[in-house]
A and B are shown apart, each in its own frame.
Chain A
């Protein structure tokens, strides 16, 4: 019962972060900010949901000798979450790098200055 509760709380937290990523993907003005929302939100919420479901596998756990397939499933779920933890920021970085090399315009508000422009055109 307590395991189901902890697992449900983790899955709900992951769904909240997925909602944040989806809202950011719709609402943000340019490519870099959309990439920011999608990359961060997806990584954290995938980790939360998968780890929550991994904890739920422990619901009928008695001993390692009796329940070793459950341990195997949990290890695979942890492997998936570690894989997402490594690859999602990597693909985010590769996409942002492609956008930066192609000189995608960033949306700068009135009265603000683009601090990264000096990085591109060193004076």
Chain B
């Protein structure tokens, strides 16, 4: 087994490991969970670009794509989190209802 076959296997494994993040992206339950899933998928994509470059023996090209994708992913998740910082919480779904007073304690 050469390293190329191993790289193809690693890329397919990365692709399969995106499926849980896709599931979290679709079921939610809140918008912040979806942003977390998008962040995970973006990081995996940047790594996957380097793996693809290793398979095609053109890492010198794909490494720039991976760097640009990592920067875009960081800016996107940071902008989304700063945006959701501002809007009121009832627009967000069931998991983000405000915590009324003290938490549940054993009586």
Assembly CA distance A120 to B17 (angstroms): 36
Asked whether, in the complex, the Cβ of B103 is within 8 Å of the Cβ of A104, the reply is no
User: In the assembled complex, how far is the CB of residue A19 from the closest CB belonging to chain B, in whole angstroms?
Assistant: 6
Interface of B is mostly: helix
The answer to whether residues A91 and B102 also contact, given A25-B21, A31-B32, A104-B30 and a CB cut-off of 8 A, is no
- Asked if A87 and B70 make an inter-chain contact with CB atoms under 8 angstroms apart, the answer reads yes
Which range contains the number of B residues in contact with the other chain? 35 or more
A12-25 near B? 1/0 per residue, CB < 8 Å: 10110011011101
Chain B 19-36 per-residue mask, 1 if CB under 8 angstroms from chain A, else 0 = 111011000001011011
CB pair A53 B39 closer than 8 Å: no
What sequence of 0s and 1s flags, for each residue 24-65 of chain A, a beta carbon within 8 Å of any chain B beta carbon?
011000110011001000100110011001001100000000
A74 to B58 CA separation, bound complex (whole angstroms): 13
In contact, A19 and B17 (Cβ under 8 angstroms):
yes
Q: A21-B40, A46-B46 are in contact. Are A98 and B32 (CB under 8 A)?
A: yes
B103 contacts which of A7, A34, A80, A117 (Cβ < 8 Å)? A117
The one of B20, B30, B67 in contact with A76, judged by C-beta atoms closer than 8 angstroms, is B67
Give the complex CA separation of A87 and B103 in angstroms.
Answer: 33
Residues A97 and B21 in contact, CB atoms below 8 Å apart: no
Least CB separation from A15: chain B residue: B13
A69 to chain B, nearest CB (A): 6
Contacts of B6 in A (CB 8 A): 8, 11
Would you call B74 an interface residue if the criterion is a C-beta within 8 Å of the partner chain's C-beta atoms? Answer: yes
Closest 7 CB pairs of A and B: A114-B103, A87-B74, A22-B20, A94-B81, A91-B77, A98-B81, A103-B98
Q: Supply 26 A–B pairs (Cβ within 8 Å), ascending by A.
A: A8-B6, A15-B10, A18-B44, A22-B21, A26-B23, A31-B33, A31-B95, A35-B36, A38-B37, A42-B39, A42-B44, A46-B46, A46-B47, A53-B54, A69-B60, A77-B59, A87-B71, A94-B81, A94-B82, A98-B82, A103-B96, A105-B96, A108-B103, A113-B103, A113-B105, A120-B99
